[in-house]
Amino acid sequence: MNRRRCVKLVWTAFLLVAVLALFVTRSRPVRADAPQVIEIAAKRFEFTPNRITLKKGEKVTLRLTSADVVHGFFLRPLKIDEIITPGKPTEVTVTPETAGTFTTICDHFCGVNHGNMKMTIVVE
């Protein structure tokens, strides 16, 4: 085999391996143990969505954001007590162990209708 043909063969093999490696890394499935992420937005005087359903024993990450002022996100049965600051997303990962319907409240005074700022979390 002449030298020029050998160099072409080596480059062709290298490119083939590189393309295959790229394909394999791009087509990897999402890890099964990666928690589901649920986005929750706080805004005077509501959480959006105002109701979510979780599965008992299944890990989930709640990504909390505020559109206006500092809010709280408190739910004792799931051991959640977070502060939501505007412009700074807050994440909390939980694995619910008890089935039921729970009410999350804003526990930082955010205005006149603060007492009505609630959301429901159902654990099945």
Q: Span 36-123: which CATH code?
A: 2.60.40.420
Nearest to 68 by CA among 115, 116, 37, 114: 114
Which phi and psi angles does 35 have, rounded to 5°? -70, 150
Q: pLDDT at position 13, please? A: 66
Distance CA 109, CA 75 (A): 16
At 53 the pLDDT is 96
49-103 tens-digit pLDDT: 999 999 999 999 999 999 999 999 999 999 999 999 999 999 999 999 999 999 9
Interval 20-42: pLDDT, tens:
666 665 555 555 677 899 999 99
**DSSP H stretches of helix in 27-89:** none
- CA distances to 47, 61, 93 from 34, in Å: 25, 9, 11
